[in-house]
C-alpha cells in the first residue's frame, strides 16, 4: 500500500478513536466551551488526563519511516504530575486557538496538516458541555499535535535511513523537547515556529514553496505550446506564452513598462538564459523542446520537489561548524569553508549504480603519494574481468597482488595465477597499486574514516572535470584541484606544510595527521536557492526524489488565513 494512503487511513482511524465528542450542538469559533451541567472538577480532569495519556499515545503508532515523539509527551505529563496543559481553573486556555492556527501553517513547510489532528481538535472545541474525559482527551490531543509538529519542524518527520538506505546523514537535535516543559501554553505556541531550521537556504526555499502553492491555487499553470524552437527575433502567440510563463516563475520581474508581448527581444532572451541556468539546461537563450518541457513542469510538481528538500534540511544539524568541507553531490562541487574563507572546486561522484552515500564524517589525516588498496567489490567487478582478458594487466598498471587481506600476506607473481578460472565470488586476493602517475588515487587522498570506505582523492582522469554531469566514480569523490585542496587543509600549520613539502619532493607515501579534525558533509539536494535567491532545480542523479514522494505523499495546497 502506498505510504500516503496508509497515513491518511491512520488519520481517519485516529479521528474515530478520539471522537468521544458528541456531534450535537456547535458554536461559532473562538468561544470557550460552556457547561450546561455542573463542570468537571480539576481533580476529575487530572484523573482523566492520567488515564488518557497512555491510552491515546498507544493509538499514535508510527508508520514506515515516521518518527513520532510519544515518549516525550508522556514525560511532559509526568513532569506535571498529569496536570492538564491547556486547561486551568476549569477554563480552556485561549492559546489553543493560536496552536491550531500554527498547525495550519504546516503545509508552508512541506508538511501535511492532516498529521496534526486539526479537525479533531476543532470537533472537541465545538462541544457545548464536555465531560472530564473529553476535556482530558482534548488536552492530550493538543499536546500530541503540538509535540509532533515541533518534532517534525525541528528534525524532520521521517527517519531518513528508512526512506533511502544510502542516506546516512541524520543529526537530530533534542532541543525541540524543551518546548514541552515551558510553563505557559501561550509561550509554548509562540516558541513553536522558532524550531524551524535557521539556515538561510531553508528559509528561502520555504518562501518559494508558499509562492508556488499559492500560485498553483490562484492562477494555475501558464503553458508554452510545443513547436519549433523560439529564438531572438521571433514573433507570435507562443512568444507571448513564453514571456507570461517567465513572469509567472519569477525570471522576469513585473514591470509597468509597456512591451510588445509577442516579440522575442534581448530582455526575453536574458530572462530565458536565467531560467535555463537554474534548471541546469544549455543556456543558449533559445526555447527548444527540452527548455519548453522544463517550462511546462506544473507548479504543484515544483512545490513537491521543494517540500522534499525542506525535509532534507531538517535532517541536518541545526548549526554548522564554521570550518567544514561541504560536498554538494547534485552540483558536483566541493565547498571548502576554512578560516573565514570559502573556495569551491569541481568533483566527480559515484555513478548511479555505485552511489556516493550521504553522510557526515571528520577528516583526520591526508596521504601524499598514496598506495591504492583496491576495494574488494571493485576487484571483483572491474579488475578481475580485465585480468581474465589480459594476464599481464597488473604489471602494466603497477599493481601488486597478495595472497590474502591479512597483515603480512605473501606477495604473489600474478602471471602464475589462472585468472580465467576464478569465480568473482571466491576472489580472495588483495591488490595494491604503487604510487605513481597512473595510480587511481593520484597524488593525494583525504581520509575521514567511515564504514563506506569513501574518501576524497586525486585522479589521473582529469578530462572528466570538463563534463557537466560528473557521476563516474565507484563511490569515492575525485577532486579537481587536489594539490590546492591539500594546501588549504594544511593551512597555517608549519608542521603540516613541512610534511607536505617533503612528501612532494621525495614522492614517498606520507601520512600527514591533521592537528584538528575537519567536519565533512556529503549532502544531496535537488532544489537549492541560487546566488540570486531563485530556486535552482537540479537533476536527481540517484533518483532519490521518488523515494521521498512515496514516504511523504503530497496534499494539494489549501489556502489558509494563517499563511
**Catalytic residue numbers, as ranges:** 457, 476
How many angstroms separate the CA atoms of 555 and 540, rounded? 22
Angle, nearest 10°, between helix axes 494-506 and 482-490? Answer: 150
User: Do residues 133 and 20 touch, judged by C-beta distance below 8 A?
Assistant: yes
Distance of CA 346 to the CA centre of its chain: 21
User: What are the grid coordinates assigned to 509, written together?
Assistant: 607515501
How many angstroms separate the CA atoms of 317 and 197, rounded? 9
How many angstroms separate the CA atoms of 59 and 19, rounded? 13
User: What are the grid coordinates assigned to 216, written together?
Assistant: 498553483
* DSSP symbols for 175-225: GGGGGGG-S-HHHHHHHGGGGS---HHHHHHHHHHHHHHHHHHHT-PPPPP
The alpha carbon dihedral of 26, 27, 31, 37 has a sign of negative
User: What are the grid coordinates assigned to 333, written together?
Assistant: 562541487
Residues 510, 511, 516, CA angle at the centre, nearest 5°?
145
Q: How many CA atoms lie within 13 A of 271 on its CB side?
A: 20
User: What are the grid coordinates assigned to 265, written together?
Assistant: 527581444
Query: Please, which residues have CB within 8 angstroms of residue 367's CB and are 6 or more apart in sequence?
Result: 444, 445, 446, 447, 509, 510, 511, 512
User: Do residues 512 and 366 touch, judged by C-beta distance below 8 A?
Assistant: yes
Ramachandran category for residue 101: left, alpha or beta (phi over 0 → left; psi -120 to 50 → alpha): alpha
The CA-to-CA distance between both ends of the chain, in Å, stands at: 32
User: Do residues 364 and 514 touch, judged by C-beta distance below 8 A?
Assistant: yes
Q: How many CA atoms lie within 13 A of 309 on its CB side?
A: 28
How long is the chain? 563
Amino acid at each position: 500500500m502506498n505510504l500516503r494512503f496508509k497515513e491518511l487511513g491512520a488519520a481517519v482511524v485516529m479521528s474515530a478513536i478520539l471522537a468521544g465528542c458528541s456531534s450535537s450542538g456547535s458554536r461559532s469559533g473562538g468561544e470557550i466551551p460552556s457547561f450546561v451541567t455542573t463542570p468537571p472538577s480539576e481533580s476529575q480532569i487530572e484523573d482523566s488526563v492520567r488515564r488518557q495519556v497512555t491510552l491515546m499515545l498507544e493509538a499514535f503508532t508510527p508508520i514506515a519511516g515516521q518518527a513520532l515523539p510519544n515518549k516525550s509527551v508522556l514525560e511532559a505529563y509526568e513532569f506535571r504530575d498529569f496536570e492538564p496543559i491547556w486547561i486551568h481553573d476549569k477554563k480552556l486556555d485561549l492559546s489553543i486557538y493560536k496552536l491550531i492556527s500554527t498547525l495550519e501553517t504546516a503545509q508552508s513547510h512541506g508538511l501535511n496538516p492532516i498529521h496534526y489532528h486539526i479537525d479533531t481538535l476543532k470537533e472537541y472545541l465545538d462541544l457545548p458541555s464536555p465531560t472530564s474525559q473529553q476535556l482530558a482527551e482534548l488536552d492530550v490531543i493538543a499536546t500530541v499535535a503540538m509535540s509532533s509538529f515541533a518534532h517534525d519542524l525541528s528534525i524532520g518527520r521521517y527517519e531518513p535511513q528508512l526512506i533511502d538506505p544510502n542516506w546516512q546523514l541524520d543529526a537530530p537535535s533534542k532541543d525541540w523537547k524543551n518546548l514541552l516543559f515551558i510553563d505557559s501554553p501561550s509561550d509554548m505556541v509562540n516558541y513553536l515556529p522558532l524550531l524551524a531550521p535557521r539556515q538561510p537556504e531553508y528559509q528561502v526555499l520555504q518562501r518559494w514553496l508558499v509562492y508556488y502553492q499559492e500560485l498553483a491555487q490562484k492562477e494555475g499553470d501558464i503553458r508554452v505550446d510545443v513547436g519549433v524552437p523560439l529564438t531572438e527575433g521571433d514573433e507570435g502567440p507562443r512568444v507571448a506564452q513564453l514571456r507570461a510563463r517567465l513572469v509567472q516563475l519569477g525570471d522576469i520581474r513585473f514591470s509597468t513598462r509597456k512591451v510588445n508581448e509577442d516579440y522575442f527581444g534581448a530582455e526575453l532572451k536574458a530572462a530565458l538564459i536565467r531560467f535555463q541556468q537554474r534548471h541546469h539546461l544549455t543556456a543558449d537563450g533559445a526555447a527548444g523542446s527540452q527548455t519548453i518541457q522544463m517550462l511546462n513542469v506544473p507548479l504543484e510538481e515544483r512545490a513537491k520537489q521543494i517540500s522534499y528538500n525542506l525535509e532534507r534540511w531538517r535532517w541536518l544539524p541545526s548549526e554548522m561548524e564554521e570550518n567544514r568541507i561541504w560536498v554538494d553531490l547534485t552540483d558536483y562541487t566541493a565547498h571548502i569553508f576554512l578560516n573565514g574563507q570559502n573556495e569551491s572546486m569541481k568533483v566527480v561522484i559515484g555513478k548511479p549504480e555505485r552511489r556516493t552515500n550521504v553522510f557526515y564524517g571528520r577528516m583526520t589525516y591526508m596521504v601524499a603519494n598514496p598506495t591504492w588498496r583496491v576495494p574488494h567489490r571493485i576487484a571483483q567487478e572491474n579488475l578481475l574481468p580485465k585480468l581474465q582478458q589480459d594476464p599481464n594487466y597488473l604489471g602494466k598498471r603497477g599493481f601488486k597482488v597478495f595472497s590474502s587481506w591479512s597483515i603480512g600476506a605473501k606477495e604473489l607473481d600474478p602471471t602464475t595465477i589462472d585468472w580465467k578460472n576464478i569465480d568473482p565470488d571466491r576472489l580472495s586476493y588483495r591488490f595494491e597499486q604503487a604510487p605513481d602517475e597512473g595510480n587511481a588515487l593520484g597524488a593525494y587522498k583525504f581520509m575521514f574514516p567511515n564504514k563506506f570506505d569513501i574518501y576524497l582523492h586525486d585522479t589521473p582522469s582529469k578530462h572528466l572535470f570538463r563534463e557537466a554531469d560528473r557521476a563516474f566514480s565507484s563511490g569515492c569523490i575525485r577532486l579537481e584541484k587536489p594539490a590546492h585542496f591539500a594546501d588549504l587543509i594544511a593551512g597555517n600549520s608549519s608542521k603540516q606544510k613541512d610534511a607536505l613539502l617533503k612528501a612532494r619532493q621525495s614522492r614517498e607515501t606520507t601520512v600527514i595527521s591533521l592537528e584538528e579534525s575537519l567536519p565533512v558533509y556529503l549532502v544531496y539536494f535537488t532544489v537549492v536557492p541560487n546566488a540570486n535567491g531563485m530556486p535552482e532545480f537540479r537533476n536527481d542523479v540517484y533518483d532519490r526524489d521518488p523515494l521521498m514522494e512515496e514516504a511523504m505523499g503530497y496534499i494539494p495546497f489549501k489556502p489558509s488565513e494563517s499563511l
